[in-house]
Amino acid sequence: MHKLEREKHIRFFDVKYPDLLGRLHHLSIPKEQWEEVIENGIGVDGSSLPGFKVVQAGDLTIRLDPTSYFFDPFTSAYSFFGNFYLRDAPYPKDPREILRKAADLVRKKTGCDRILFLSELEFYLLDQVKFSLDKTSGYYELVSEEDKKVSTDGFFLTEGSAYQIAPPLDKTTLLRNEVSELLTAFGFPVKYHHHEGGSFSQVEVEINFLPTLKAADGILIGKYITKNLAKKYGKSATFLPKPFPFEPGSGLHLHHYLEKGRVSLFGQRRNRLSDFARRYIAGILYHTPALCALCAPSTNSYRRLSGHFETPTKTSYQFGDRTATIRIPGYIKDYKKMSIEYRIPDATSNPYLAIAGILLAGLDGIEKNFPLKEKSLPSSLKEALEILQEDNDFLTRNGVFPNEVIEFWIERKKLEEELINESPHPREYELYYNC
């Protein structure tokens, strides 16, 4: 008997799943249907989900992983992640299936036992948010209690003083405590949290190393918990990469390593970084211009990747350098735990597709031994999509990414780029209205 069945006061269970864009969805089911759903799954309309809209995917089935449960206080229900099936086979466009295939392939080809990821969730916590755009007007207004213009208690942040600042200047410690406690209770342990460098309540919560699929689940759940708790506190959380001009952007830095026999394959006793790791890194760097389209897939992402506030503009790896594309953390003393940090991603990405892409790029480097050659990063989403159009064989070669997913991604993101380009920027009025 599952714990859900013993809890008499629980009336529903909740199924969560990501769509292709990386947005979280859920479905609430009366507990009386538990045995039926466990045995047969539950049908959903795949044609209503972005990227799944093909005739043969009109009827999909979600099957639960009964071991993935946690109690979700926001729905007052036990919650489970689900996987998509088309008839009796895993649905190849399911983001969780794509990541599962990528991880299985890397384990098979490298002989590693586990692949572990740590994610750094950076975001801004705001007290009021307004934005609107139509043909005759457009504006945004962001309000933070840490702003000197808004603060009513005399405690406000000045430029350049925000990183890991203590209360009372850091005003959201208790909220982050709750985020961390819930994440840990849900099965996603937190390493720590702190105030980040941005002056308007930019903060960070780090989810500790977890196996690949659970790590990606944790990113979505971290965003879910944060947004719901922010609402409880009368705030709004945004993971937008660059919401403020001349302030630090918010990334989703991903640390990871491949492990065999509880020892990282990236470490070496004498030189710290193994030859295996260097080949793996070379693969990621070689494909980074294409990976940008998956890992930084918004027009706003390239306002962050501008070379300011510890962001890279060229492909490189360095020890302890936060401006590099890949940073080798300088604080790791035990080569058996050696990891690398990929600093391109942000939270507009679908974490399942982003992580799958990173793993496949690294595997390609191991197999092809690319030279370490510095390249410029794309300066726009349009450029990144053009590169992905040409460089995607490492994603599709072993049937991990369906071609249709790459095609959908490029088409959808091009539409987003066009929407932005169609809209005049307020600064353009300021500069050119009286030309």
What tens-digit pLDDT sequence spans the chain (435 residues)? 466 666 778 889 999 999 999 999 999 999 999 899 999 999 998 888 988 866 555 689 999 987 888 999 999 999 999 999 998 899 999 999 999 999 999 999 999 999 999 999 999 999 999 999 888 888 899 999 988 888 877 788 776 678 999 999 899 999 999 999 999 999 999 999 999 999 899 999 999 999 999 999 999 999 999 999 999 999 999 999 999 998 999 999 999 999 999 999 999 887 689 999 999 999 999 999 999 999 999 999 999 998 887 889 899 999 878 889 999 998 888 889 999 999 999 999 999 999 999 999 999 999 999 998 899 999 999 999 999 999 999 999 999 999 999 999 999 999 999 999 999 888 888 999 889
Q: What pLDDT is stored for residue 107 in this prediction? A: 98
Helices and strands counted in the chain (H then E) = 12, 20
Least Cα distance to 326 among 353, 308, 344 occurs for 344
Tokens in use for 367?
A: 């197999």
Q: What pLDDT is stored for residue 5 in this prediction? A: 64
How remote is the C-alpha of 242 from its chain's centroid? 15
Question: Could you give the CA distance from residue 244 to residue 247 in angstroms, rounded to a whole number?
Answer: 6
DSSP string over 168-213: TTS--HHHHHHHHHHHHHTT--EEEEEE-S-TTTEEEEEEEEEEHH
Q: What pLDDT is stored for residue 377 in this prediction? A: 96
Query: At residue 428, what is the residue type?
Result: E
Least Cα distance to 290 among 341, 364, 340, 216 occurs for 364
DSSP string over 82-109: EEEEETTEE-TT-HHHHHHHHHHHHHHH
| Token pair 């991990």: residue | 400
Tokens in use for 258?
A: 């491949």
Q: What pLDDT is stored for residue 55 in this prediction? A: 57
Per the document, the length of the chain is 435
Query: At residue 8, what is the residue type?
Result: K
Q: What pLDDT is stored for residue 217 in this prediction? A: 97
DSSP type of residue 157 = P
Q: By the 8 A CB rule, do 361 and 311 touch?
A: no
All structural domains of the chain, each given as residue ranges with its CATH number in brackets, are 8-91 (3.10.20.70), 102-432 (3.30.590.10)
What is each CA distance from 109 to 211, 286, 366, in whole angstroms?
17, 19, 9
Q: What pLDDT is stored for residue 396 in this prediction? A: 98
Q: What pLDDT is stored for residue 2 in this prediction? A: 63
Question: Could you give the CA distance from residue 189 to residue 208 in angstroms, rounded to a whole number?
Answer: 6
Intra-chain end-to-end CA distance of the chain, in Å: 74
Q: What pLDDT is stored for residue 4 in this prediction? A: 64
Q: What pLDDT is stored for residue 97 in this prediction? A: 97
Least Cα distance to 15 among 58, 93, 75 occurs for 75
Q: What pLDDT is stored for residue 182 in this prediction? A: 97
What is the pTM for the complete model shown? 0.95
CA torsion, ordered 389, 395, 398, 403, to nearest 10 deg: -40
Question: Could you give the CA distance from residue 253 to residue 311 in angstroms, rounded to a whole number?
Answer: 11
For the stretch 216-245, what's the b/e string if a residue is b when 16 or more beta carbons lie within 10 angstroms of its beta carbon?
A: bbbbbbbbbbbbbbbeeeebbbbbbbbbbe
For the stretch 29-59, what's the b/e string if a residue is b when 16 or more beta carbons lie within 10 angstroms of its beta carbon?
A: bebeebeebeeebbebebeebebbeeeebee
Q: By the 8 A CB rule, do 114 and 106 touch?
A: no
Q: What pLDDT is stored for residue 323 in this prediction? A: 87
